Amino acid sequence: MSDRKSSRLILPGLIAVTLIAASAVYLLRPSESVASQALDKAQSAEKLQSLAELDGKAPTNRKLDVQTWTTAEGAKVLFVEAHELPMFDVRILFAAGSSQDGDVPGLALMTNAMLNEGVPGKDVSQIASGFEGLGADFGNGAYRDMALVSLRSLSASDKREAALALFDQVLGQPTFPADSLARIKNQILAGFEYQKQNPGKLASLELFKRLYGDHPYAHPSEGTPESVPKITQAQLHAFHAKAYAAGNAVIAVVGDLTRAEAEAMTAKVSASLPKGPALAKIAQPTEPKAGLSRIEFPSKQTHLLFAQLGIDRADPDYAALSLGNQILGGGGFGTRLMSEVREKRGLTYGVYSSFSPMQVRGPFMINLQTRAEMSGGTLRLVEEVLADYLKTGPTQKELDDAKRELAGSFPLSTASNADIVGQLGVMGFYNLPLSYLEDFMKQSQALTVEQVKAALNKHLSADKMVIVTAGPTIAQKPLPPPTDKPAEQPLGVPEH
Amino acid sequence: MNALARRAAGLLLSTVCLPLSALAADPQPTHEFTLDNGLKVVVREDHRAPVVVSQVWYKVGSSYETPGQTGLSHALEHMMFKGSAKVGPGEASLILRDLGAEENAFTSDDYTAYYQVLARDRLGVAFELEADRMASLRLPADEFSREIEVIKEERRLRTDDNPMSKAFERFKAMAFPASGYHTPTIGWMADLDRMKVEELRHWYQSWYVPNNATLVVVGDVTPDEVKSLAQRYFGPIPKRDVPPAKIPMELAEPGERLLTLHVQTQLPSVILGFNVPGLATAEDKRSVQALRLISALLDGGYSARISEQLERGEELVSAASTNYDAYTRGDTLFMLTATPNQQKKKTVAQAEAGLWRLLEELKAKPPTAEELERIRAQVIAGLVYQRDSITSQATAIGSLETVGLSWKLMDSELADLQSVTPEDIQKAARTYFTRERLSVAHVLPEETAHE
């Protein structure tokens, strides 16, 4: 539920960073398992005393008092006071993602990445040492819908005020120096070279192209090898002036601040931004043409991506689709897809489905990797699982389990300041009500099997799928029959 | 987050073991007690949200393993999900999933740990499942024969087919000539091929006892409720002697070593590692704090020396980093890696020379007070930020306890760091950055193999 959607790729994702793995820590990979219903089985057998003692009620959740106001320049603010720790987080989200690139793919991301490279009187090193000398963490990122800039700092007034003053400058008066622009272009271009070795990335690029055609979601946020070299300083300044305007911003604040302090702080940030209104909302995409594209790639495994247009953030069916998706392939083990493709046939380590509700209709996607010689059969199997699910809908049991899991994990979604500022940002950016988290939970818990099935069929159709595969062309083998204990171990690691 | 934020986060990670500070704020109440069977319990109260994290840490990992039996600790971690007296294979994970819990496990050189994050009213379920597999793991032979194949596949994918992982594995095998730290946690393939479930059973019986474990609980709980739950579920597990565990000691100056590795990569890189003590083995604890600060001076953010001089200034490297883990059971490494900037046609040799220039600079000239203050400010802030996550807090406590240091170190840590002078830093650089302590690896693309 907590999310920053769409393409996560930004500079470091493009550049293969050599990290030191000093103490190699091996994380658990979810292990094989048979069927779901474990909780019921365990309870009925009364093997676990602790389970028998749970009263079955949903757990309590942290009560969030979300306050909101609008700054003089028109930026919407969402604020939660949290005085337990002497720190605060501020995150500013602009409708300045790559869907606003216009005819310069990569412009939004480049503008965002260049913000902290120079301000009047300070070069990139001075800005960095300014934040770091205060113990403050500056962060930024650009995606399809949004660009964001964030600051985490100690709340003691000497630290706070100095960090915010620098933050305001970076947001309001970036100089976009030429040497930095050349360096960052180089990094992005190096990333494009590196992408050529990554079949999953190539498949994803092709998928968005197919799914969105001429729509601004079609191109990747980082731009293209053709577009990036041509980006100019003047374009960055122009983009900043319109897209980083106060009227185009949402400010989320959490931490050790009083309401008055938060108001003063957000008033200053807002005043330091360029003046201007929110940018016009982008248009809804048009329906893509269904069908299959293949990318030839000499890998052992074949990547399979399936997608169709899903929903936007304002869609009233979001709760039903989210729960419905949880059962299809949103969770880990025990989902329809995981059970059929991995648990019964050992064709993959992980298969996942997701809705990405965005400003306008984001994708519904299913993705997995499988052994190349099984890719044809696996592709058909996934299609069959989806078609069958749409036809029959979830069982009552599946729906009850998904509701229970959702209720149980809900308190985890607002446990830390970092969690809360993320939730506030999404709520503000997509104009959701302040009671959104509770509403979502209530709506989800009230859903019936019929409602979930109806919502799924309203938005998805088995024959509308856009499919992209990346892998080698080799002789195909038939799929093994379903069993409880797959004999052959699948290749590949789950994608997360 | 982009690169910059992530780099700052890197510094926080390197200070993951020292959450609290006198300067930061009042510490959250933290309690410790030991059950009669020797299980040590540390509870930190954090009442911000009705959630809790429970972690069980066992003092066993790959550095405890002997040649021919590498990978046992990690394989046992996998098998801990394959059923115990009260639950069948995979069942515990499904129970936790249905309750909305997050769970995970990890194995390292020094420890094996298991954790659950869940709504506070479900803590008993986490304890009961964890206690059950501490006391009565099933280790079924048929599950093992399937799981060992999964582990081998994991090794192929994550080490053998992953150029940098493979390079680090080979590098460590060379850089630790005397201690168990040369053993890769996942195990050598030849040892995985001949691993028997009986060996795992023996490993389990030897090390998985309450008196060799630490239970860490952080969240919206009181020490009394944790104590009574811990007593109820873990209390009945009998104590048992564990084999003697020797601290991994290294040669101080093994001599210069060079490894050239050709792997399937686009990007060449260089790794440097110096044999140095950790906090548990150093006679002069200040030298350890000095090394920690050196790591931060070089790589603690976008304004640190590597970033400023090598990445942006000379545009010599496209990425570079340092790592010094002071919180190990034994002697450790100070490591640096760099990838030359290929867009600027830089070579591995040039990148290596660039790293050495930074090290020589530290030897020649103590850092300015101003630069040190900037580093300390990040560390102090990091101590506060870490407390935003109950999992980070628990991990800090658990790892300190498990490597033989006390979680209370967290409280004195800041003072220890602050006592380090610029001269201490120069002295540490001169003592440790020598050829006799050095291992070097050149990791090159396969195409150049015959040049």
Which ipTM did the prediction report? Answer: 0.87
Q: Return the residue matching tokens 């892998």.
A: A471
If you average pLDDT over residues A113-138, what whole number do you get?
96
The band of A456, judged by pLDDT with boundaries at 50, 70 and 90, is: very high
The answer on pLDDT for A12 being more than 60 is: no
Average per-residue pLDDT for chain A = 88
Residue of A nearest to B154 (CA): A493
Q: What is the pLDDT of residue B22?
A: 36
Mutate to test the interface with A, among B97, B133, B444 (most CBs of A within 10 A): B97
Question: Using an 8 Å Cβ cutoff, are B242 and B207 in contact?
Answer: yes
Q: Do the chains contact at B186 and A38, CB–CB below 8 Å? A: no
Q: Flag whether residue A339 sits within 8 Å of chain B, measured between CB atoms.
A: no
Q: What is the pLDDT of residue A198?
A: 85
Q: What is the DSSP string of A134-150?
A: TT-EEEEEE-SS-EEEE
Instruction: Kindly report, residue by residue over A152-193, the tens digit of the pLDDT.
Output: 999 999 999 999 999 999 999 999 999 999 999 998 998 898
The structure tokens listed for B67 are 């040649």
Fold of A289-468: Cytochrome Bc1 Complex; Chain A, domain 1 (3.30.830)
Q: Flag whether residue A38 sits within 8 Å of chain B, measured between CB atoms.
A: yes
Q: How many CA atoms lie within 13 A of A430 on its CB side?
A: 23
User: Which residues are paired to B51 by β-bridges?
Assistant: B119
Q: What is the pLDDT of residue B411?
A: 67
Alpha helices in A352-435 (DSSP H): 375-392, 396-409, 417-429
CATH of A64-270, one of 3.30.830.10, 3.40.930.10, 3.30.1490.100, 3.30.70.141: 3.30.830.10
Question: Using an 8 Å Cβ cutoff, are A400 and A323 in contact?
Answer: no
Q: What's the one-letter identity of residue B23?
A: L
The band of A54, judged by pLDDT with boundaries at 50, 70 and 90, is: confident
Q: What is the DSSP string of B67-102?
A: TT-TTHHHHHHHHTTS-BTTB-TTHHHHHHHHTT-E
Average per-residue pLDDT for chain B = 90
Q: What is the pLDDT of residue A9?
A: 26
Q: What is the pLDDT of residue A14?
A: 32
The string over A205-240, giving b where at least 16 C-beta atoms fall within 10 Å of a residue's C-beta and e elsewhere, is bbbbbbbbeebbbbbbbbbeeebbeebeeebbeebb
Alpha helices in B136-188 (DSSP H): 141-155, 163-175
Interatomic CA distance for residues A175 and A123, integer angstroms: 9
Q: Return the residue matching tokens 């050529």.
A: A196
How are beta strands A67-70 and A118-119 bridged, if at all?
Answer: unpaired
If you average pLDDT over residues A313-341, what whole number do you get?
92
Q: What's the one-letter identity of residue A297?
A: F
- Burial class of A450 by CB neighbour count within 10 A (0 to 12, 13 to 18, 19+): exposed
Instruction: Kindly report, residue by residue over A408-422, the tens digit of the pLDDT.
Output: 999 999 999 999 999
User: Which residues are paired to B32 by β-bridges?
Assistant: B42
Mutual angle of helices A449-459 and A318-325, in 10-degree steps: 100
Chain A residues with beta carbon closer than 8 angstroms to that of B104: 27-28
A37-41, A481-485, B30-34, range with the lowest pLDDT:
A37-41
Low-confidence ranges of chain B (pLDDT < 50): 1-24, 448-451
Evaluate whether A64-270 and A289-468 have a shared fold: yes
Distances (CA, A) of B426 to B305, B430, B436: 15, 6, 18
Q: How big is chain B by its Cα radius of gyration, in Å?
A: 23
Angle at A460 between CA A459 and CA A466, to 5 degrees: 125
Q: What are phi and psi of B122, to 5 degrees?
A: -100, 5
The answer on pLDDT for A56 being more than 80 is: no
The string over A178-199, giving b where at least 16 C-beta atoms fall within 10 Å of a residue's C-beta and e elsewhere, is eebbebbbbbbbbbeebbeebb
Chain B residues with beta carbon closer than 8 angstroms to that of A37: 94
Question: Using an 8 Å Cβ cutoff, are B215 and B39 in contact?
Answer: yes
The string over B223-256, giving b where at least 16 C-beta atoms fall within 10 Å of a residue's C-beta and e elsewhere, is beebbebbbebbbebeeeebeebebbebeeebee
Q: How many CA atoms lie within 13 A of A141 on its CB side?
A: 21
How are beta strands A147-154 and A87-94 bridged, if at all?
Answer: antiparallel
Residues 64-93 of A with CB under 8 A from B: 82, 84-87
Q: What is the pLDDT of residue A46?
A: 67
The structure tokens listed for A8 are 């996560």
Neighbours of B186 (CB within 10 A): 25
The answer on pLDDT for A35 being more than 90 is: no
A8-17, A339-348, A481-490, range with the lowest pLDDT:
A8-17
How are beta strands B332-340 and B317-324 bridged, if at all?
Answer: antiparallel
**Residue extents of the structural domains in chain A:** 64-270, 289-468
Consecutive H or E run containing A469? strand A466-471
Q: What is the pLDDT of residue A1?
A: 29
Instruction: Kindly report, residue by residue over A260-305, the tens digit of the pLDDT.
Output: 999 999 999 999 999 999 999 999 999 999 999 999 998 888 999 9
Q: Is A470 helix (H, G, I), strand (E, B) or coil?
A: strand
Q: What's the one-letter identity of residue A363?
A: P
Q: Flag whether residue A52 sits within 8 Å of chain B, measured between CB atoms.
A: no
Interatomic CA distance for residues B9 and A54, integer angstroms: 38
Interatomic CA distance for residues A75 and A278, integer angstroms: 9
Interatomic CA distance for residues A369 and A376, integer angstroms: 12
The structure tokens listed for A479 are 């799929």
> What is the CA B331 to chain-centroid distance, rounded?
14
Q: How many CA atoms lie within 13 A of A332 on its CB side?
A: 21
Residue of A nearest to B94 (CA): A38
Question: Closest partner residue to A87 among B91, B154, B384, by Cβ?
Answer: B384
Q: What is the pLDDT of residue B247?
A: 95
Q: What is the pLDDT of residue B234?
A: 98
Q: What is the pLDDT of residue A191?
A: 86
Q: What is the pLDDT of residue B7?
A: 33
Interatomic CA distance for residues B274 and A22, integer angstroms: 13
Chain B residues with beta carbon closer than 8 angstroms to that of A86: 24-25, 384
Instruction: Kindly report, residue by residue over A89-103, the tens digit of the pLDDT.
Output: 999 999 999 999 999
Distances (CA, A) of A269 to A8, A73, A162, A219, B296: 26, 10, 13, 31, 30
> What is the CA A212 to chain-centroid distance, rounded?
18
C-alpha distance from B198 to closest chain A C-alpha (Å): 21
Interatomic CA distance for residues B412 and A418, integer angstroms: 27
The band of A486, judged by pLDDT with boundaries at 50, 70 and 90, is: low
If you average pLDDT over residues A432-439, what whole number do you get?
92
* Domains by residue range for chain B, with CATH: 28-233 (3.30.830.10), 255-443 (3.30.830.10)
Q: Would you give the DSSP letter of residue A183?
A: H
Chain A residues with beta carbon closer than 8 angstroms to that of B325: 22-23
Q: Flag whether residue A401 sits within 8 Å of chain B, measured between CB atoms.
A: yes
The answer on pLDDT for A215 being more than 90 is: yes
The structure tokens listed for B69 are 């039996």
User: Which residues are paired to A305 by β-bridges?
Assistant: A367, A468
Q: Flag whether residue A280 sits within 8 Å of chain B, measured between CB atoms.
A: no
User: What is the pTM for the complete model shown?
Assistant: 0.89
* Gap between the terminal Cα atoms of chain A: 15
Q: What is the pLDDT of residue B25?
A: 53
